[in-house]
Amino acid sequence: MTLIQLEVFVAIIETQSFTKAGEKLGLTQSAVSHALKNLEQAWGVKLLERNRSGFVLMPVGQRLLRYARDILRLNQSIQEELAKEKGLLVGTVRIGSFPTASAAWLPDVFAAFHDIYPSIETLLLEGGYQDIHDWLLNGHVDIALLPLPQADFDTLTLLEENYVAAVPEGHPLADQTCCCPEDFRDAGFIMPLAGSESMVNEWLSSRQVTPTVVFALDYTTTLLSMVKRGLGVSLVPVSSQIPAGVATVALEPELKRTIGLAVRSFQTLSPAVKAMISVFQTVFAVQLQEPPSP
């Protein structure tokens, strides 16, 4: 087993293509195929098989993929520590985020980070809450932005954010100073998913309200487009990019979510990831009990 064989294994799964895996690693398609074959022979198992859309992991491949990523991550940490010893700070930081957070907060973080650490590459993957959780758990990303709490990870609270009602302009609720759960009893309601539904349902049920759900959607942009066309009303985070034609109204009682930064362990961070966390701490003016030093 070699590091390049592990890199090939991971790259094939991430790109779903021998050709694209080779382009990513600077190898020919033949070299990629040969490396995978040698890894399977060394381990004595079949890791994946081809289907119409690309490749699918065998059960043993699913289990070993996480360990392969861990080995590659540790190797990256070694290289970063060696570079740091020579007065350099290099590497790659992979961040998993949901679209609202990416648009509202990450531009400031990335701009500050690249001003201080121009030699460190940043990669951003966007998805729903469960996608991001699984990416972090499986080592596909180094840092995740997620609603807290998150029992599986070490976390750092970044901020609390209010929700607001989102209604079409001209809707009777748009003229109110605030909306309470009872206001949604008879309104066609668009339920926000991606992990928000339990919190929203709890807020509504605090006044024994069971809304008539007309849509249940993962992505806030889609939800707000539906609201704009008068297809329902909903609740969204105040940081959402509200389009023209949609009015927002404060909620009473307040509904809040806590957004945080999550890692698998604060004890095993690479220098590049520590550097990124230090920038998050600066931008959001928050501290760990023992802040990681880059």
| Residue 121 pLDDT > 60 | yes
- So what's the pLDDT on residue 168? 97
Q: What's the mean pLDDT in 173-201?
A: 92
- So what's the pLDDT on residue 291? 47
pTM of the full structure: 0.70
Q: What's the mean pLDDT in 56-83?
A: 88
Task: Tell me, letter by letter, the H, E, C secondary structure of the chain.
Answer: CCHHHHHHHHHHHHHCCHHHHHHHHCCCHHHHHHHHHHHHHHHCCCCEEEECCEEEECHHHHHHHHHHHHHHHHHHHHHHHHHHHCCCCCEEEEEEECHHHHHHCHHHHHHHHHHHCCCEEEEEEECCHHHHHHHHHCCCCCEEEEECCCCCCEEEEEEEEEEEEEEECCCHHHHCCEECHHHHCCCEEEEECCCCHHHHHHHHHCCCCCCEEEEEECCHHHHHHHHHCCCCEEEEECCCCCCCCEEEEEECCCCEEEEEEEECCHHHCCHHHHHHHHHHHHHHCCCCCCCCCC
User: Where is mean pLDDT largest: 62-66, 231-235, 267-271?
Assistant: 231-235
- So what's the pLDDT on residue 77? 83
- So what's the pLDDT on residue 158? 95
From 17-21, 161-165, 240-244, 285-289, the region with the lowest mean pLDDT: 285-289
